Structures are given as C-alpha cells and as structure tokens.
Amino acid sequence: MLWLAGGALAAACATRPSPLPAPVATGLPSDPCRVAGDSPREADTVVVAASDSAFEPALYRQRLATPVRVDCEGRRLPELATGWSPDASGRFWTLVLESGAPELADAWRTRAAVLRWAGIESIVPLDERRLVVGFALPADSLPRVLADAALGVPRARAARPVLVVAPPAGDPRDQLDRAVDLVQTDDPALLDYARQRGDRSILPLPWSRTYLLLVPDGGAGVGDVVGADSAAFRHALARDAVRADARGSEPPYWWEPATGCGPPRAAVSTRRSSEVVYPRDDRVARDLAQRIVALSPAPEVTARGLDNAAFGAALRAGGARAYVLAVPRRSLLPCRERADWPAGSAVVPLVDVRSSLLARRYAPALTTDWDGTVRAPAIPGGPP
C-alpha cells in the first residue's frame, strides 16, 4: 500500500528535505471557545456528570494526543505537532513533532481503515521529528482530520486537569446537590430543575448532533412526510416532536457531496421491512421516529427501537423501511460516519440538538473543539 515507508516519495524527501516549519502561534489574548468557568484557581480535576452519552467523546479524547486540535472557530492548534507546512501541491504536509515521528508512523500504519477514510495515502518519517503525510486531495490549510481521535496515540503523561466522572445517581437531579463541578445534559426536565434552584449557571454548548432520516435505495420509503416546505417541516419537528434543545437542521451538511469515500456499502438485505428503526436508548431518535410514522401516509409503517449493536447490524443490512440516527453536526472524518450507510440512501436532515452545561459557581473552565467536544484546557506548563 502507498502508506508504507520507502519508495519514490521517501527518496524524494530524503534528497530534498523540507525546511522546519515555523512554530504555530498559540498565545491568544482571549479564548472565544470558553464555555464555563469563572474560578481563579487551577484545578487538578474537574468533576462532571452527564444525563446522556454526550460527554463520552471528551472522556475518551483526554487520554489521547493528536497531531493538532481544532478549536471551535476552526483554528489548528499544536498538540503533538509544533509546526507544519505544505509542499507546492498542497497534498504533502510536513509535521514537526517534539520527537517520535517514526513511532507515530508505525502506529498509524496499523489503522488501514482510518487512513482510507482520512484520505491519507502515504506516511514517511524523515527523521525523529519530521513526518510527511500525503493526502489524496490537495488542501490549502492543514486537513482537520489530523485532529480526530482515531489518529491519536496515548499521552505520555496524564493531561491536566483531568475530567472525572461523578458516581451515577438514581435521579439526575441528585447530581446538582452533590459536589459536581459540571453537569452536561439535554434533558429539559433537568434544565428546568436547575433554573428553579438558581444556583447553577446554564451554559448552552454548540449544536453538536444532527438527526437524519436514512431511506435505503430501492425501498418504499415512508411516503411524502416532508412536504413542499422542508424548512418548515424541520422547524415543526424541533418545536413539537423533540424533548430537547433542538432546532430545524441547518446546512452546511458534511455528507454533501458524497465524494472521496470510495465505493459505498451495498445493502446486505434485499427484503424490506415496514419498520422505521432507531437506537432504543436515544430518546430524541425515538421521538422523531414515532412522529415520522404518525405522519406517514403508509398505514403499515411502524417504529422499532433496537439496542446499539442490533441497530448497527440493521443499518449495515439495509433492510428496514428507514432509519433515524444521530451523527455529528461537524465531522472530522466524514467517510467514517457514513461507512455503514446502505449505498444510495436518501438522506433527509431532521433536527440539530445541543446539550447545556450546568455549572456551579467557581467551576473550572472548559472549552469546546470544532466538532463540539468539550475539553478541559491544559494547565500552563503541563503536557499538551
């Protein structure tokens, strides 16, 4: 494969070594991505609780370091890489690391599917610090995919402050009575309870999830539930069908156009059920699926919830009448997100949803990344 070290690219790079890129400036006078925290102290830990799975990416990402991170405004900020520069074509980017370029290349070569989704065709370490990454398509700025956790490696040292999950509570409202710094939720009942208490700041996070209706190619679909005014349809769903902070989904949509991801997955099943399938534990997906069934002119259409494993298998098989699922509103790795979609599926965007942080007074700061993931900013002088 092209990402193996050596060959013509390695020879060319060896004879014409790229100059070290200048370090990327990080000294921003203020942080527009800051979403919480008026505490003057530097915390070693931030205790968080979540009434849904929205916080899981933050917990996962804090254990990994990626070449760069992309903040909420799309700026590329150093992490493993202290600098970067393109060649004249914009396809080959030289990353400058503190050390460990060969080790990073070796780790990436074990992730063939990730490299394919990312459009990475070659990985060539020039020395201990420089790594040349070749992409299938040119780019005028460093590809954001290099911030995806799928290209991360374990941190050599624990990042500080550490996000620590609070013990579960039988009633989510109990978390507000405990010494929990932050509660992340999209539950309107919990948000109303926090407003009544009056001792927590309610901080809306960026719109981070988009719910879609996928209709496999060749199926009967659910009939004309959208109507002539698709924007009005989406707005009505957000207002009437969803028990969360939602709005009618808004472009741009990362799945348009569907290019650069290779051959689409063909449906395994040729038989179509009459079911609109959704993940059972996702209450927003359930609400949307039930509303679509209620609006469908086809009387035999029903809604069915499946556990996550069964839903994934059903999606890959492509045998349902339609699917309701959540995807990231912004995706660092779009080809991964659509890898299991049946080929030729019609994609109908429904609603965008966001969570909020319920922050106690003097809670430590958090920031958000470009894809909406929450993170604790590194303490000055700590590891990246």
Q: Do 339 and 369 belong together in one domain? A: no
Q: What is the DSSP letter of 68?
A: E
Q: What ranges make up the beta strands (E) of 152-194?
A: 153-154, 162-165, 182-185
**SS3 assignment, position 336:** helix
* Gap between the Cα atoms of 161 and 364, Å rounded: 9
For residue 178, tell me if it sits in a domain: no
* Gap between the Cα atoms of 316 and 310, Å rounded: 10
User: CB of 47 within 8 A of CB of 164?
Assistant: yes
CA distances from 315 to 254, 270, 297, 312 (A): 20, 13, 23, 5
Q: Do 147 and 258 belong together in one domain? A: no
Per-residue pLDDT of the chain (384 residues; tens, 9 = 90+): 444 443 334 434 433 444 444 333 333 446 788 876 656 556 678 888 876 666 778 888 888 999 999 999 999 999 999 999 999 999 999 999 999 999 999 999 999 999 999 999 999 999 999 999 999 999 999 999 999 999 999 987 766 678 888 888 888 888 888 878 888 888 888 999 999 988 888 988 889 999 999 999 877 789 889 988 999 999 999 999 999 999 999 999 999 876 667 666 665 656 678 999 999 999 999 999 999 999 999 889 999 999 999 999 999 999 999 999 999 999 999 999 999 998 889 999 999 999 998 988 777 778 889 988 888 765 444 444
Q: Do 333 and 367 belong together in one domain? A: no
For residue 201, tell me if it sits in a domain: no
Supply the pLDDT for residue 220. 76
Supply the pLDDT for residue 194. 92
Q: Do 371 and 342 belong together in one domain? A: no
* Gap between the Cα atoms of 320 and 41, Å rounded: 53
* Gap between the Cα atoms of 308 and 345, Å rounded: 20
Q: What is the CATH number of the domain that holds 43?
A: 3.90.76.10
Nearest to 160, CA basis, from 44, 48, 40:
44
Q: Do 12 and 127 belong together in one domain? A: yes
Q: Which domain holds residue 110?
A: 7-160+362-375
Beta strand 245-248 with 346-354 is antiparallel
* Gap between the Cα atoms of 46 and 44, Å rounded: 7
Q: Do 13 and 89 belong together in one domain? A: yes
In degrees, rounded to 5, the angle at the alpha carbon of residue 65 between the alpha carbons of residues 63 and 71 is 105
Q: What is the CATH number of the domain that holds 215?
A: 3.40.190
Q: Do 59 and 131 belong together in one domain? A: yes
The structure's pTM equals 0.85
Nearest to 77, CA basis, from 19, 31, 140:
31
Is residue 109 classed exposed, middle or buried when 0-12, 13-18 and 19+ CB atoms within 10 A define those classes?
middle
Q: What are phi and psi of 65, to 5 degrees?
A: -120, 135
In degrees, rounded to 5, the angle at the alpha carbon of residue 149 between the alpha carbons of residues 26 and 54 is 100
**SS3 assignment, position 342:** strand
Residue 157: partners with Cβ closer than 8 Å, 6 or more residues away: 383
User: CB of 362 within 8 A of CB of 38?
Assistant: yes
For residue 189, tell me if it sits in a domain: no
Nearest to 97, CA basis, from 69, 74, 66, 123:
66
* Gap between the Cα atoms of 115 and 113, Å rounded: 5
Supply the pLDDT for residue 65. 92
Identity of residue 167: P
Beta strand 322-328 with 275-279 is parallel
* Gap between the Cα atoms of 249 and 288, Å rounded: 13
For residue 187, tell me if it sits in a domain: no
In the chain, the number of structural domains is 2
For residue 299, tell me if it sits in a domain: yes
Sheet-wide strand order for 34-36: 34-36, 366-368, 374-375
Beta strand 45-50 with 182-185 is parallel
User: CB of 48 within 8 A of CB of 164?
Assistant: yes
* Gap between the Cα atoms of 165 and 168, Å rounded: 8
Q: Do 319 and 370 belong together in one domain? A: no
Is residue 1 classed exposed, middle or buried when 0-12, 13-18 and 19+ CB atoms within 10 A define those classes?
exposed
**SS3 assignment, position 236:** helix
Q: In 112-252, which ranges are continuous DSSP H helix?
A: 112-118, 188-197, 230-236
* Gap between the Cα atoms of 214 and 258, Å rounded: 14
Omega within 30 of 0 (cis) for the link into 252: yes
Q: Do 223 and 350 belong together in one domain? A: yes
